[in-house]
Amino acid sequence: MNEHPLFQVDAFTGEAFRGNPAAVVVLDEPADDGWQQAVAAEMNLSETAFLRNVGPASYALRWFTPTVEVELCGHATLAAAHVLWTEGFVDDGAPIRFDTRSGPLVATRHTTGDDGDAVIELDFPANTAVERPAPDGFLAALGLDAGRFAATADGWYLVELPDAGAVRRLTPDFAALAAFPTCVVTAPGDGGSGDAAVVSRVFGPSVGIDEDPVTGSAHCVLATWWAGRLGDAFRAEQASARGGTLDVLLAGERVLLAGRAVTVLRGHLVA
């Protein structure tokens, strides 16, 4: 196996050691699925992104948790785009197209302020959760007696609680929760992170992630869930221990997610 550039990036944050860390591996040829899964397990982050150039500013992109490949991942896509621009793989002003299992995704980079700070905007598919009764045992696994429950066609669970404090205080039983799909628990914002209108936490023990620090794909669900009450554009806080914020815009059947990223590690994968 050739050496491959390897990076670790904290996504949806402007500060190192906050937000959601993702590993990014840049490939020069297709790689074996088992090897990619083994690398993701070795990195032991919520996702590892694998990039392979397929044309000008165009990359094949796959995401693996430590245990499974996933259909869509926001923070690792943001991390991948950040790497491609900051490490010189793609010209700074060029939009990047990603070919993924969720279809084509686009990332654009906007420079703001005198310090040249950059915000990355991701163009993702919207996802809609439909309210229905919660499955037996699910709310109890979250540590809840009640909550407004909904689910998407592709398997996301969502629970809305009346206030952000209830979201922040959650202490799920992760062993019990592993029997259910990944879920996002949300409530109106409480001023804990500036002007965030929405607070959430995301739990995915069934895919090897007890709690994800900041989850872009969850906000594809939250965008459609909250837009009728908050409008199409709002700021969101994910209230994990590391914490992170992103700006959300529902644009028809797409969701634009904007945030920052910080590189914390550069190296090479040699195995």
pLDDT in tens, 225-260: 999 999 999 999 999 999 999 999 999 999 999 999
Report the pLDDT value the prediction gives residue 193, as an integer from 0 to 100. 66
Report the pLDDT value the prediction gives residue 111, as an integer from 0 to 100. 81
Task: Determine contact, residues 184/200, Cβ cutoff 8 Å.
Answer: yes
Report the pLDDT value the prediction gives residue 113, as an integer from 0 to 100. 55
Cα distance between the two ends of the chain? 6
Task: Determine contact, residues 11/76, Cβ cutoff 8 Å.
Answer: yes
79-136 confidence digits (pLDDT tens): 999 999 999 999 988 999 999 999 999 999 998 755 557 899 999 999 999 999 999 9
Among 204, 203, 189, smallest CA distance to 245 is for 189
Structure tokens at 160: 């809305």
Active-site positions?
A: 47
14-39 confidence digits (pLDDT tens): 999 999 999 999 999 999 999 999 99
Distance CA 3, CA 49 (A): 16
Query: Which residues, in sequence order, are CB contacts of 222 under 8 Å at separation 6+?
Result: 158, 184, 186, 198, 200, 236, 248
- 60-79 mean pLDDT: 96
- Which residue reads 């209830």 in tokens? 166
Task: Determine contact, residues 111/235, Cβ cutoff 8 Å.
Answer: no
Structure tokens at 179: 């029997």
Diameter of the chain by CA atoms?
53
137-184 confidence digits (pLDDT tens): 999 999 999 999 999 999 999 999 999 999 999 999 999 999 999 999
Q: Where are the alpha helices (DSSP H) in the chain?
A: 33-43, 74-86, 138-142, 164-168, 174-177, 216-230
Left, alpha or beta for 17 (phi > 0: left; psi -120 to 50: alpha)? left
User: Distances in Å between the alpha carbon of 13 and those of 45, 94, 215, 238?
Assistant: 16, 22, 12, 11
User: Distances in Å between the alpha carbon of 232 and those of 172, 189, 226, 257?
Assistant: 31, 16, 8, 12
- Our CA dihedral for 20, 25, 31, 34, rounded to 10 degrees, sits at -40
Report the pLDDT value the prediction gives residue 112, as an integer from 0 to 100. 72
Report the pLDDT value the prediction gives residue 114, as an integer from 0 to 100. 54
- CA angle in degrees (0–180, nearest 5) for 67-71-72: 105
Q: Which domains does the chain have, with CATH numbers?
A: 4-124+257-269 (3.10.310.10), 129-250 (3.10.310.10)
